[in-house]
Amino acid sequence: MAAKDRKPNRSRDHLAALFFLVVLLCLWLASGISWKSSLPWMAEAQNAEDVQKTATAPDDQPPPSRPTHQHLSFNERVEERQAMVFQQIQARDIKDPNVLQAMRTVPRHAFVPSSQEVHAYRDYPLPIGEGQTISQPYIVAFMTEALRLDPNSTVLEIGTGSGYQAAVCAEIARHVYTIEIVEPLATEAAQRLKTLGYPNVYVRAGDGYHGWPEKGPFDAIIGTAAAKRIPPALLDQLAPGGRMILPVGNAWGFQHLVLITKDLGGALRRRQVMPVRFVPMTGQVQQPAEASER
């Protein structure tokens, strides 16, 4: 009988303990403490997850690497570059301070063959091998100014050549993607730009007719070889509000720099801005136009 008398007491004890645990749980939840943060190993996992989210958030990405200017070439022939800008570029009404500074900074003599280094800052184009040339300094400055680049711009260049125009754009823009159809020139330019410290320039060997769609759209597109017609892919890859400049015309006939703008609604406008003489663009552009391009 004594044993039977103790059973109700145990039941009451269990109920009291359960009620006490429920009260503690309610107080704990009301305090706003995370159940994960209350356990050390769960807190560590939560903190790691938060760090990963912060690191991959677009707004928290670190700024892209900029040209380093540590190579010895940047400290060579500085007065010649200053004279080039003053006499050849400012004298012809180029006014964008970013363009002028870029032209003063980039060591043009590092982008020409050793046999041409003495002429690097002269007022004319120079041969760079493979039947290609580096453009006259004024033309480089004129085309760069026409793009209206800023530090957030993403640029596509068709015709890397020695890499000089890409380097000038990279002094101003965020990223420069440049395509060269002559593979030896592409290889040399990529190595040269890496050696000189241009981590924001990306070089591809290939036909620029097709652009670089996976990296578009582009705020600015620049062509450094004369096309018989404007490749449709480049028009498609130009961002709304973007600007494109490239020489258009026959290899042995009239050529003009053509400036194309795309408004925010996608409408295109084009105008001829200057007669020029460029080496011809090769590849797909030399084939007959497809019906969709006519």
CATH number at residue 273: 3.40.50.150
For the chain, the domain total comes to 1
215 found inside a domain: yes
| 115 is a catalytic site residue | no
Look up the domain containing 143 and give its range.
137-293
For residues 249 and 277, the answer to whether their CB atoms sit within 8 Å is no
Q: Which residue is listed with tokens 């020489």?
A: 247
pLDDT given for residue 253 in this prediction = 73
237 found inside a domain: yes
Terminal CA-to-CA distance of the chain, rounded, Å? 108
CA 208 to chain centre: 16
43 found inside a domain: no
242 found inside a domain: yes
Chunked mean pLDDT (size 10), the chain, 294 residues: 47 60 55 39 36 33 78 98 98 98 98 98 97 97 98 98 98 98 98 98 97 97 93 97 95 88 97 92 78 52
* Amino acid found at 177: Y
The whole-angstrom separation of Cα 129 and Cα 117 is 14
pLDDT given for residue 48 in this prediction = 36
186 found inside a domain: yes
pLDDT given for residue 291 in this prediction = 52
Computed from CA positions of residues 128, 218, 59, 172, in that sequence, does the dihedral angle turn out positive or negative? positive
156 found inside a domain: yes
The whole-angstrom separation of Cα 108 and Cα 99 is 14
SS (H, E, C) 45-82: HHHHHHHHHHHHCHHHCCCCCCCCCCCHHHHCCHHHHH
The whole-angstrom separation of Cα 42 and Cα 28 is 17
159 found inside a domain: yes
User: What is the pTM for the complete model shown?
Assistant: 0.77
262 found inside a domain: yes
- Single out the catalytic residue among 135, 153, 162, 292: 135
